[in-house]
Structure 1
Amino acid sequence: MSTVAPVEESPRTDPARRGWRRLPVVHQLRQSVGLQRGMLVTGLVLTGLFLLTALVAPLLAPYEYNQLRDADGPFGAQQAPSAEHWLGTTVGGYDVLSRVIYGSRTAVMVIVVAIVLSLFAGVLIGLLSGYFGGWLDRVLVVVCDAVYAFPALLLAIVMAIVISGGQSSLFGGILAAAISITVVFIPQYFRVVRAETVRIKGEAFVESARVVGAGHWRIMTRHVLRNATRTLPLILTLNASEAILTLAGLGFLGFGIEPTAAAEWGYDLNKSLSDVTSGIWWTAIFPGAAIVLVVLGLTLVGESLNDLADPRLRSRRAAESGETAETSVVPGGSLGAGPAGLDGIEGRPR
């Protein structure tokens, strides 16, 4: 009697392997080719190092961010890089390396709080405005356009003064900076979500939901929301880099967090202005380099994801490099054969 050997399931048909390959970042990385892949990998590495540094800051920093002395006595102001202080000390006598490392933790806290608040508020009002329309839509559009037209940094300064008087403790300063940035970011999320909601609410699957008796809240949350927010991951990465620059701008202008409450790169740059003219370069170059590298990493990730979300750019770059790239219109999505053009756009399971 002959026996048939079991056929091993290939990676293409293995659901588990297919699952991890469809993860947002992994899927975009597999789509990218050539220079585009190099940009995405570089951005992911810089962003990963930034997040890792913030996570293990107490383990990496040789001293506390507000420490001025050790067992041997005071550190001393404007000390050149040495074995005791690898990046030297500031004009206030703080260790530069420790403040740069702890500054990443402050930046992450502000980014997380600002993006969560602005995402929640912007998506909510954008969904309500686009779905219901009428006088509510007109009022919200006018208000958000007025806020968006106001200079972002000046608006953040005004909000920081109103909230905390310009300076405050660690959590007060983080909350003040985050709320200041939130006010700037809300119109961006509002515009994107409102435009997508206006488009989606006229689709056939939304009309079908109304016919079967679904309420407004169910339609908005189950059918409209998940389809209107597909492009938000692109905005999140770009807004994270803007949050870093806004936080640094507030600190540089003296409206940030007090140095004894937390380490903040913009504040350290402000205090190092007079050092540069005296030939003391280490107090300015390292906080400045930290800002540049973090913003560069986040921007590269955001721009790469934006290119991958555009099938025209992706196809052109794939043709130039001679490689075949998978098709996807949105992060984690794929171009389907259904009537709507996108898998799952009508609420169908993939």
Structure 2
Amino acid sequence: MARTSLWARLPIVHQYRQSVGLQRGMLAAGLVICAIFLLTALFAPLLAPYGFAQLADDDGSFGAQQAPNGEHLLGTTVGGFDVLSRVIWGSRTALMVIVVSVVLSIFVGILLGVVSGYLGGWLDRVLVVICDAIYAFPTLLLAIVTAIVISGGQSSLFGGVFAAAISITVVFIPQYFRVIRAETVRIKAEAYVESAKVLGASTWRIMIRHVLRNATRTLPLVFTLNSSEAILTLAGLGFLGFGIEPTAAAEWGYDLNRSIADVTSGIWWTSIFPGAAIVLVVLGITLVGESLNDLADPRLRARRRAAAQTPADATAATTVTAREELGEAL
């Protein structure tokens, strides 16, 4: 049997090859939207016609609330900013917050989850109570309180990104903690963990080499779902006035807040495009997350393959899926 190429074993490529039918279409659509979002954020200085806080060019000031035209393809805001430029630069702000918040929450959540689930005892009970108490608070309310404590409500680009990321991290840590702790409790009862103990492996070696490696398989699913929630939380903070200052960075939630009065006056372009950016990015990340979640279930993969193939191939598809499930267990 030929070995699978390295390209085919990459996480997203592997899941895409497993998908069939509508599931493959959803995953492909989500990946395309996410790719556009990433490219827009990375190349924002090249794609944006103006700066995010630019109010004039060589021909003079832009003017407030201009309808879409040749110079401003998506019009201008009530403050005189170019809408297209603000939307493009806003993708970079969103990406920065996603990366910082999710990386911090993954690091802290995994560490606490593995330690709590493996060691148990009074430390486990204390951490569970603390995380459950944090998890009981409304997400946006907790983020608002944390943002006010860290930055006083508004800040510069890096200060605002850090404040928003920390506030979102506080919300996400209990989610990662619950997932990793549950997997750790299950894994530490496996035979290979008991064998490692008998062979004299230290506690930290078992936690890192055996438990951690197997407990983090579901993290890509949680990562995608939390990325979309991070965008919504950032937009909520900006909409309520607790985000980044408009002269420090472009932020979609703040632009929506400033366009509230425009809607009643028939000025639609100042709100449609920032809102559409939020919806599309969240939709793309959610499609990827839900598709990966479905593909992680071997039984669901078997049913989809059987439905997509001829009856003669259904038995072979089920056998292949059973082998995959056995391989994942090992």
Which one of the candidate residues 330, 335, 340 is aligned to 2:325? Answer: 335
Distance 1:328 1:196 in 2: 22
Distance 1:86 1:116 in 2: 36
Q: What is the letter of the counterpart of residue 82 of structure 1?
A: N
Instruction: Report the CA distance between 1:151 and its aligned residue.
Output: 0.2
Selected match of 1:280 from 261, 267, 270: 267
The corresponding residue for 2:249 is: 262
Instruction: Give CA-to-partner distance per residue, 1:35-54, whole Å, 9 cap, x none.
Output: 00000000000000000000
TM-score normalised by structure 1 residue count: 0.90
Distance 1:212 1:35 in 2: 48
Partner of 1:124: 111
* Fraction of identical pairs, as percent: 76
Say whether the 8 Å CA contact 2:53–2:81 is kept in structure 1.
Answer: yes
TM-score (norm 2): 0.95
Q: CA deviation at 1:18?
A: 2.3
The one-letter amino acid paired with 2:325 is L
Contact conserved, 2:298 with 2:325, CA < 8 A, in 1? Answer: no
> Which residue, out of 65, 80, 103, partners 1:93?
80
Matched, 1:56 2:43: yes
SS of the counterpart of 1:18?
A: coil
- CA–CA distance in 1 between the matches of 2:163 and 2:139? 15
Q: Is the 8 A contact 1:308 1:328 kept in 2?
A: no
1:317 deviation in Å?
2.1
Let me know the Cα RMSD of the aligned residues: 1.5
Q: Distance in 1 between matches of 2:156 and 2:6?
A: 44
Q: Does 1:317 align with 2:299?
A: no
**2:86·2:251 contact (CA, 8 Å) conserved in 1?**
yes
1:36 maps to 23
Gaps of 5+ in 2: none
Aligned to 2:152: 165
- What CA distance in whole angstroms lies between the structure 1 residues aligned with 2:51 and 2:288? 31
Q: For residues 149 and 25 of structure 1, what CA distance do their matches in structure 2 show?
A: 33
State the secondary structure of the residue aligned to 1:124: helix
Counterparts of 1:304 and 1:97 in 2: how far apart (Å)? 31
Matching residue's letter, 1:335: E
| Structure 1 residues 10-89: aligned runs within 5 Å | 13=2, 15=3, 18-89=5-76
Q: CA deviation at 1:290?
A: 0.2
Does 1:108 pair with 2:95? yes
Distance 1:189 1:328 in 2: 28
* Matched residue SS, 2:108: helix
Look up the match of 1:7.
Answer: none
Equivalent position amino acid for 2:218 in 1 = T
1:129–1:194 CA contact under 8 A, matched in 2:
yes
